[in-house]
A and B are shown apart, each in its own frame.
Chain A
C-alpha cells in the first residue's frame, strides 16, 4: 500500500465513509422525490389548467383551482406516496464498503460535478441569451399574471384575439404565471432567473437515475430476476462483477454526471440541439420537454427494462410524464408517445411479454386524449 493511500485510509475511515454514504443516499432519495414531485406538479397543473383555458376562464379562478388541486394531491401523497417511493435504486451502494482512497476519489468526483453544476447555474442566472420566442411565451405569462388573461390576446401587440388552440393545450406559460402569483415575483424574473435553478438540477437528477438503472445491469449480464436482486445486494468491495471494477463502480455516477454537465456546457453546436435549448431557452416549454421530460422518459424506460414489468409507481410517473410533455408543448403530445411507445414495443419483445406492451399502452391514454383534442381543435 503506498504512503498516500495509508494517509487517505487514516483520514477517511470506513466508519466515516459509511456514515457519509448513508447521508448521501438520503440526499439522493430526497432529490429523487423532488424530481418526481416536479413531474407530478406539472401533470396536475395540466389537468386543471386546460379546461380553464378552453372555456375562457381567468387567472384568478385558475390560481384557486390549481392551489386546491395541489393541496389535495399533497395530502394524498402524504398518505400513500411516501411508502411506495422505490428505494432499490440506491440500495446497491449501501452494502458496499469503501476504502479511504475510494472514498477520497468519490468526494473528488462529486466535488467536480457540484462545481460544474454551480458554474452552470451561475451562468444561467447572470447571462441573458436572446431568443425571439420569449416575445410570445414570456408575454403569455405576463398577460396572465398582470391582467388575468388566458391566451386571449395577441402576445406581440396586446390586441384581443380568439383562442389559439395550438398553444392553448400547452399551458407551461400559465404554470410560470401561477408560480409568479404564488410568490409575487414578476414572471420574467421567475422564468429567466429562478426556474433555471430548478429545471437544470432536475434534468441531471433524471439523467442520474437513468444511469443508475442502466448500471443495475453491471452486477449481472442476465435479465433481471429476484436472484439478480440478491446478487446486487451482496456485492462486496474487491469483487469485480459485471463489467465494472470496484473503482469503476465508485466513479460511475459522479463521472457520468460530470460528462452530462460538460455536454450541456459544450453542446451549443447549433441552435437546434438539446443542450442549446437547456442553456438558452431553459424556461420555455420546448426546452423542458427536450431536457427534463425526455430525461425522465429515459429513466422510466430504463426502469421498465430492468424490472420487466410496469410497476404502479412507474405507471403513475409515466402518466405524469405524458401529461407534463403535453403541458410543455403540443409537440410533446406526439413526441413522447412516439419515443416511449416505440421503445416500449422493443422492451416487450426483449422481455417476451405482451402484458408489458399493454401496460405501457394504457399509460399512454392521457397522451392520446390530448392528441385527439389537438386534432379536433
Chain B
C-alpha cells in the first residue's frame, strides 16, 4: 500500500504531468546549470524539502498540528514554476526563441487548461461572480430599512446568499450539504423532499423565525402553503419566494 505522502503526491499531480516536468527540469539543471547558487536554490534545497515531504513520520507530525488533508500544501514549497521556467530558458542557449517555444509546448502538453468549461468553471453573470438568480432573490427579500431577515434557500443557492448580503440569516448553510462534515440538519432534509410535508416545514421554519422560504416554482406540497400563513412574495426565474405573514422577526 502506498504511503500517505505518495498518495498526496499523486493527487497533486492529478490529470497532468507538470510534477514530472518539474522533476525533469530539476534533473536538467543538475546536469547543465553551472551557477552554484542557482543549483543550490533550484536543485539541492527543493530535493531536500521533497525528501523530507516523503517521510511518513513528517506527515503524521503535520496532521497533529493542522488538518492532515492539507499536507499537499508542503508541496507549494517546491518552486515548480520558477524551476520549470528557468530550465526552459536554458534549453537551447544559442536560440532562445526555440528554447521558449519548446518549453511552452512541453508545458501545454503536460498541463491542463485552467479555464476549461466544467462543473466548477462558469462565465461570470455579474461583477459579484454570484449567480444572478441569487442576487435577484436576495434583493427581493432584503428589508429596505437595513434590518436582518431570516430565510431558507435551495441547496444550489446556499454558498452564495451570504456572499451577497450578511443581513440574511439562514437556518443552515454550507455545513448541511457537505456530507464529509457529517452535520445532519432536519430542516435541510425537509427541504429536499419531493412532496413536501407542509405542516412540518411550517413548524420548523417558524422555529427559526424564518421570514421567507425560497423553493423551486414546481415544488409539490401535501397541503397548500397558504393554510399555514404563507403568501407568494415574488416569483423569480423559476423560484417562488414564500413570505411568512405570522413572523415579525427581527422586530
B16 contacts across to A, CB distance below 8 A: 266, 269-270
B174 touches A135 (CB 8 A): yes
User: Residues of A contacting B130 with CB < 8 Å?
Assistant: 128, 188
The answer, yes or no, to whether B186 is at the interface (CB within 8 Å) is: no
A139 on interface, CB distance cutoff 8 Å: yes
Query: Could you tell me the distance in whole angstroms from the C-beta of A158 to the nearest C-beta in chain B?
Result: 4
Q: Which of the residues B45, B66, B116, B122 comes within 8 Å of A128, measured between beta carbons?
A: B122
Asked if B233 lies at the interface with its beta carbon under 8 angstroms from chain A, I say no
* B39 CB, nearest partner CB in chain A, Å: 10
Q: Is A211 an interface residue (CB 8 A)?
A: yes
The answer to whether A279 and B11 touch across the interface, beta carbons within 8 angstroms, is no
Query: With A and B bound together, what is the CA distance between A267 and B128 in angstroms?
Result: 25
Q: Are A218 and B35 neighbours in the complex by a CB distance under 8 Å?
A: yes
Closest residue of B by beta carbon distance from A144: B166
Specify which chain B residues have a CB less than 8 angstroms from the CB of A127 in the assembled complex.
Answer: 115, 121-124
Check: A13 CB closer than 8 A to any chain B CB.
no
Taking a contact as CB atoms under 8 Å apart, the answer to whether B169 and A159 are in contact is: yes
A105 / chain B contacts, CB cutoff of 8 Å: 97
- Please tell me if A242 contacts chain B, counting CB pairs below 8 Å: yes
Q: Are A269 and B14 in contact (CB under 8 A)?
A: yes
Q: Dominant SS at the A interface?
A: helix
Q: Which residue of A lies closest to B46 (CB)?
A: A343
| Cβ contact of B123, chosen from A128, A138, A263, A275, cutoff 8 A | A128
Residues of A within 8 A of B85 (CB): 207, 211, 256-257, 259-260, 263
B243 at the interface (CB under 8 A from A): no
Instruction: Encode contact with A along B92-104: 1 for CB under 8 Å, 0 otherwise.
Output: 0111110110011
Q: Which of the residues B44, B93, B113, B148 comes within 8 Å of A245, measured between beta carbons?
A: B93
Contacts of B84 in A (CB 8 A): 259, 263
* In the assembled complex, A217 has its CB within 8 A of some CB on chain B: yes
Residue of A134, A139, A301, A305 with most partner-chain B CB within 10 A: A139
Q: A231 to B59, alpha carbons, bound, how many Å? A: 46
- Closest Cβ of chain B to A248, distance in Å, is 5
| B36-A142 in contact (CB<8A) | no
Q: Which A residues are in CB contact (< 8 Å) with B160?
A: 135
Q: Is A210 an interface residue (CB 8 A)?
A: yes
Q: Is the CB of A157 within 8 A of B169?
A: yes
Interface pair B124/A243, CB less than 8 Å apart: no
- In the docked arrangement, what's the CA distance between A252 and B103, Å? 13
Interface string of A320-351 (1 = CB under 8 A from B): 00000000000100110011001100110010
Partner of A347, one of B40, B121, B148: B40
Residue contact A256 to B124, C-beta cutoff 8 Å: no
Tally A residues with Cβ within 8 Å of B.
94
Q: Considering the chains assembled together, what is the distance between the CA atoms of A189 and B7 in angstroms?
A: 37
User: Is B115 touching A132 in the complex (CB atoms < 8 A)?
Assistant: no
In A236-294, the 8 Å CB interface with B consists of 242-245, 247-248, 250-252, 255-260, 262-276, 279-280, 286, 289-290, 294
Report the minimal beta-carbon distance from A155 to chain B, rounded to whole angstroms: 7
Q: Is A37 an interface residue (CB 8 A)?
A: no
Of A138, A153, A294, A343, the residue contacting B41 (CB under 8 A) is A343
Closest to B75 in A: A272
Q: Give chain B residues whose Cβ lies under 8 Å from the Cβ of A29.
A: none
For residue A193, CB closer than 8 A to chain B, the reply is yes
> Is B163 located at the chain interface by the 8 A CB criterion?
yes
B81 touches A125 (CB 8 A): no
Verify A207–B81 contact, CB threshold 8 A: yes
| Contact yes or no, A255 B173, CB < 8 A | no
A91 within 8 A of B: no
B-side contacts of A192, CB under 8 Å: 124, 127-129
Given A259-B89, A262-B108, A290-B76, the answer on whether A271 and B14 have CB atoms closer than 8 Å is yes
Q: Is the CB of B34 within 8 A of A221?
A: yes
Q: Is the CB of A157 within 8 A of B18?
A: no
Q: Chain A contacts of B167 at CB under 8 A? A: 146-147
Contact B41 A217 (CB under 8 A): no
Do B37 and A270 touch across chains, with their CB atoms under 8 A apart?
A: no
Bound-state CA distance A125–B73 (Å) is 26
Q: A211 vs B84: C-alpha distance in the bound complex, in angstroms?
A: 12
Whether A188 contacts B164 in the complex (CB less than 8 A), given A259-B88, A259-B103, A270-B14, comes out as yes
Chain B interface residues toward A at CB < 8 A = 11-18, 34-38, 40-42, 44-45, 48-49, 65-66, 70, 72-77, 79-82, 84-86, 88-90, 93-97, 99-100, 103-104, 107-108, 110-116, 119-125, 127-130, 148, 158-160, 162-175, 178
* Beyond known contacts A247-B95, A273-B18, A275-B81: 7 more, CB 8 A cutoff: A105-B97, A128-B123, A139-B163, A218-B35, A243-B34, A280-B121, A350-B36
What are 21 residue pairs bridging A and B, where the CB atoms are less than 8 Å apart in the complex? A109-B97, A123-B115, A146-B166, A188-B130, A192-B129, A193-B127, A211-B86, A214-B41, A245-B96, A251-B97, A255-B99, A268-B111, A270-B13, A275-B111, A275-B114, A294-B76, A294-B77, A305-B37, A305-B40, A331-B66, A335-B76
Mark A residues whose CB is within 8 Å of B: 105, 109, 123, 125-132, 134-136, 138-139, 142-143, 145-147, 149, 153-159, 186, 188-189, 192-193, 207, 210-211, 214, 217-218, 221, 223, 242-245, 247-248, 250-252, 255-260, 262-276, 279-280, 286, 289-290, 294-295, 298, 301-302, 305-306, 331, 334-335, 338-339, 342-343, 346-347, 350
